[in-house]
Amino acid sequence: MYPLLRNILFKAAPEKVHYFSMNCLKIATSIGLGDTILKNLFQYKATNLQKEVMGLNFKNPVGLGAGFDKNAAYLHELEALGFGFVEIGTVTPKGQPGNDLPRLFRLPADKALINRMGFNNEGVAAVKERLVNWNSRGKSKGDLIIGGNIGKNKITPNEDAWKDYSICFNELHDQVDYFVVNVSSPNTPGLRALQEKDALTKIFSELQHHNAGKSNPKPLLLKIAPDLTKEQLDDIVELSLTMNLSGLVATNTTLDRSNLSATSAALSESIGMGGLSGKPVQKRSTEIVQYISNQTQGKVPIIASGGIFTGEDAKEKMIAGASLVQVWTGFVYEGPAIVKNICTYLSANK
């Protein structure tokens, strides 16, 4: 059924479809019977999927990557669809509109997306308010793990980036279960320069200082790009060990379009700049997961993201060394049953 619906939805602009679909889900879950039906249709529960990672108890290892629910506006709806965890954001200190429209594009021939969103979000104060409301719901919010993906404002110079990350960290500390520092988006000018060792050391030194002063320190992770060189990856591996990072998220979108089909390559030329996600980044993402796992001897938990559409894709990432997986582009192409389908496969193929 979803392939038919997808063909209809794909006739409209991607960003409009995103909000339309999620608002339809919001209406459905606001009705008691609708909420129950959705949970019965899309949730899959199995005790052999539960796992403890970074000191957190995940009901299943399938999460939603950052960028889908930027403002923590759809947590109940995503919990109803069976996600084990949701990473909200990227959140910046001040709200910002992001880049000009259009900024999200489909490459259906390759099951891929190109985005140049630019950290559009309502700002940390608005997101915090929603999270406070969510956390006040008690048992009705289920056992969904919430990650906070944090970034810097576009107008903030790189030398002051650590201040933006610190603001978001302190404001959201009591509201999320773990944090991810995003320095790997290609859509904020100069941001990826913060992936260099010295810049990362400054950011994480500040955040770990704040974290140590809290009564309940939170896991702190770094999200990396798939376009890093071996030398850059080695620096990040060293940093993750010396700075006692709780984990790494591998990977963000890529600037490399060499794996596109002729049809998608021609379309991407007309689209222009942006980060590529989906099937074309699958292989590189898995390679990086494998490399990091080997270099850290499995000591640093990895959340794998990049080209996960099926249970087999998720299993491949886990064999490579991932503890958890995130979907995003796969969710767009496979629809709301993706979590159940992946969980069913993983449960049967432990």
Active site residue 185: yes
> What are the pLDDT tens digits along the chain (350 aa)?
899 999 999 999 999 999 999 999 999 999 989 999 999 999 999 999 999 999 999 999 999 999 999 999 999 999 999 999 999 999 999 999 999 999 999 999 999 999 999 999 999 999 999 999 999 987 667 799 999 999 999 999 999 999 999 999 999 999 999 999 999 999 999 999 999 999 999 999 999 999 999 999 999 999 999 999 999 999 999 999 999 999 999 999 999 999 999 999 999 999 999 999 999 999 999 999 999 999 999 999 999 999 999 999 999 999 999 999 999 999 999 999 999 999 999 999 98
What order of strands is seen across the sheet that includes strand 112-115? 104-107, 112-115, 275-278
Residue identified by tokens 């260099």 is 196
Q: Does the global pTM surpass 0.85? A: yes
Every domain of the chain and the residues it spans: 50-348
Q: Is the dihedral of CA 326, 139, 181, 190 positive or negative?
A: positive
Q: What are the backbone dihedrals phi and psi of residue 57, each rounded to the nearest 5 degrees, phi first?
A: -100, 110
Kindly tell me the burial class for residue 142, based on how many C-beta atoms sit within 10 Å of its own C-beta (0-12, 13-18, 19 or more).
middle
From the list 238, 242, 222, 221, the residue with the least C-alpha distance to 230 is: 238
Three-state SS for the chain is: CHHHHHHHHCCCCHHHHHHHHHHHHHHHHHCHHHHHHHHHHHCCCCHHHCEEECCEEECCCEEECCCCCCCCCCHHHHHHCCCCEEEEEEECCEEECCCCCCCEEEEHHHCEEEECCCCCEEEHHHHHHHHHHHHCCHHHHCCCEEEEEECCCCCCCHHHHHHHHHHHHHHHCCCCCEEEEECCCCCCCCHHHHHCHHHHHHHHHHHHHHHHCCCCCCCEEEEECCCCCHHHHHHHHHHHHHCCCCEEEECCCECCCCCCCHHHHHHHHHHCCCEEEEHHHHHHHHHHHHHHHHHCCCCCCEEEECCCCCHHHHHHHHHHCCCEEEECHHHHHHCCCHHHHHHHHHHHCC
Superfamily per CATH, domain 50-348: Aldolase class I (3.20.20.70)
Token pair belonging to 22: 């999620």
The answer to whether 63 and 87 are in contact (CB under 8 A) is yes
Q: Is the dihedral of CA 181, 184, 186, 192 positive or negative?
A: positive
Exactly one of 184, 185, 240, 305 is catalytic; name it: 185
